[in-house]
Structure 1
Amino acid sequence: MTIYSTMPLELVYDGMNNQPGPYVSVTVGEVQLQIEAVSPGIGRIVRLLDGPLDAYLRPELSPGTLVAFGLPPS
């Protein structure tokens, strides 16, 4: 692979070997989501794993959105 860039190689390859954070699979209604934990009980949606086709068009389920997950409050 050849990379042509005016940027320094340190910036181009920065973070290349970093592994993504731990992902959690949760089900919200009939949609299964893969989320990355941001803080206890809050996660950022990484992708939709399974669900009806119209779920992919819902803005509240778009990647990058913060959602609450975990045990419901008692």
Structure 2
Amino acid sequence: MTIYSIMPMELVFEGIHQERGPYVSVQVGDVRLQLEAVSPGIGRIVRLLDGPLDAYLRPELTPGTMVAYGPTTP
């Protein structure tokens, strides 16, 4: 991979080795989401794991959006 940037390498790669999470997998309707837990019951969408193709175009499911979720039962 080649990166062309006028920014110093330290800024470009800042935080690359930091571990993020914890992640939660949640089913919302017909879409399975991966959320980063921000606080109890609230998460930030990291990515869509599974769902119909048109779900990827829904603005309320874009990565970075905050959503409320309930406790999951196995």
Aligned length: 71
1:1-74 alignment, distance < 5 Å: 7-71=7-71
Change (3 A) 1:12 1:55: closer
Asked which structure has the greater CA Rg, the reply is 1
1:7 Cα deviation (Å)?
4.3
AA aligned to 1:22 is P
**What TM-score do the two structures reach when normalised by structure 1?**
0.79
**What TM-score do the two structures reach when normalised by structure 2?**
0.79
Which aligned segments of 4 or more residues in structure 1 are displaced greater than 3 angstroms? Answer: 1-10
When the two chains are superposed, the root-mean-square deviation of aligned CA atoms in Å is 1.9
1:11 Cα deviation (Å)?
2.8
AA aligned to 1:61 is L
1:22 Cα deviation (Å)?
1.2
1:15 Cα deviation (Å)?
1.3
Give the % identical residues: 76
